[in-house]
């Protein structure tokens, strides 16, 4: 996708503890009516939606949660409707975005005015030069954390991917908090993301793998 073709607004799918990076593909199970409506509208237009994490606080009191400012736009690449009227889709990450403002409408789902100017590099095909030796300790600590949390990961499949894809896949699948995943999503490039993962893992290791948020 070229810069000139990027949309000015997006329907957004707020999902807690879930992030997607550019050039990664994730499956989604859509069952809430408002998001079924969103997918229907998207399929009739450009097939684009924005994944974003909501902010939750103790004072929400059932109100619509505020959204984090940075999310990732994805394109629906696969669509299937089940017998019980759920939608099974695959979403491919395209480019990260920043929310400028939320659009008021009578639609059941949320829409936002967005800006991509800080993330145009996401559209490029250039891969960053990271050596496996730089990641060996991170992989070791991640494996330990995944095992302690009971997460099952196909490490053999991951090892067949590029280092770029592996880092992003592990960041997405990790048992980190909403805030920690948001830090990884907002990391400008892969080198910074690698450093942030290392910092988070150090915090977890220091705290005996209790859930501690990176500050």
pTM of the model: 0.84
3-state helix, strand, coil in the chain (%, to 5): 35, 25, 40
**Residue 211 reports pLDDT greater than 70:** no
Average pLDDT, the chain: 85
- Condensed to tens digits (0 to 9), the pLDDT of residues 45-96 reads 999 999 999 997 666 666 789 999 999 999 999 999 999 999 999 999 999 9
**Structure-model confidence comparison of residues 105 and 56, the more confident one:** 105
Helix ranges (DSSP H) in 46-189: 132-148, 155-159, 163-173, 178-186
The band of 116, judged by pLDDT with boundaries at 50, 70 and 90, is very high
CA separation for the pair 195, 200 (Å, rounded): 9
pLDDT at 215: 38
Report how far Cα 5 is from the mean position of its chain's Cα atoms.
22
Using the CB atoms, write b or e for 150-173: b if 16+ within 10 Å: eeeeeeeeeeeeebbebbbbbbbe
**Residue 207 reports pLDDT greater than 60:** no
Q: How many CB atoms sit inside 10 A of residue 33's CB?
A: 11
């Amino acid at each position: 996708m070229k810069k000139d073709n990027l949309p000015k607004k997006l329907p957004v799918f707020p999902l807690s503890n879930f992030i997607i990076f550019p050039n990664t593909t994730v499956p989604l199970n859509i069952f809430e009516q408002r998001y079924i409506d969103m997918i229907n509208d998207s399929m009739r237009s450009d097939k684009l939606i924005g994944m974003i994490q909501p902010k939750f606080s103790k004072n929400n009191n059932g109100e619509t949660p505020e959204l984090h400012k940075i999310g990732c736009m994805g394109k629906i690449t696969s669509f299937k409707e089940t017998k019980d009227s759920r939608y099974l889709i695959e979403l491919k990450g395209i480019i990260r975005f920043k929310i400028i403002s939320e659009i008021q409408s009578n639609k059941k789902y949320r829409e936002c005015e967005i800006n991509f100017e800080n993330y145009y590099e996401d559209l490029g095909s250039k891969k960053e030069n990271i050596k496996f030796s730089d990641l060996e300790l991170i992989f070791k600590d991640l494996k330990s954390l995944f095992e302690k949390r009971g997460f099952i990961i196909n490490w053999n499949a991951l090892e067949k991917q590029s280092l770029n894809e592996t880092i992003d896949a592990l960041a997405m699948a990790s048992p980190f908090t909403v805030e920690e995943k948001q830090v990884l999503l907002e990391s400008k490039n892969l080198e910074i993301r690698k450093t942030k993962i290392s910092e988070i893992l150090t915090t977890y290791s220091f705290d005996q793998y209790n859930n501690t948020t990176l500050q």
